[in-house]
Amino acid sequence: MQRTTAYLLWADALAKLSRIEALRKDFCQPTGFGWEPPVDVLETAETMILVAAMPGVRVVDIDLAVEGNELAIVGIRQLPPAIHVARVHRMELPHGRFERRVALPPGRYELVERELADGCLTIILRKLG
């Protein structure tokens, strides 16, 4: 009985570790052109609000463009300066060029605000007409 319980606990722990690893891999998908940050899209009566996870990205390294019914988020995440003097044991956060194109509901939009805080870029698009 004790061996069965230990086996079940071990199997449960391995399943949880596997799920954690899958979530980590899904967080920032690598693509042929770099990586894609995950994005939440919210809608109010007057605006579209998009929140993109971008740990370690500087606001000056991000370009935004509304192209028809699509928002393009393009930029680069620089390697940390310590990379030049440190020994790397693990690097899981993506770096380099990123691009994310997010489909918007039909309509016209104007970029009215963008704010980068706590590793997330919040974009506010005003609906036009």
Is 47 or 32 the better-scoring residue by pLDDT?
47
- What CATH number is given to the structural domain containing 92? 2.60.40.790
Residue 7 lies in a domain: no
14 is a domain residue? no
Helix (H) or strand (E) holding 38: none
**pTM for the complete prediction?**
0.73
Residue 62 lies in domain: 30-128
Q: Does 1 fall in a domain? A: no
- 77 found inside a domain: yes
Least confident among 32-36, 41-45, 56-60: 32-36
Q: Identify whether 19 is part of a domain.
A: no
Q: With bands split at pLDDT 50, 70 and 90, how would you rate the model's confidence at 103?
A: very high
Long-range contacts of 59-62 (CB under 8 A, 24+ apart): 59/114, 59/116, 59/121, 62/114, 62/116, 62/121
pLDDT(11) > 80 = no
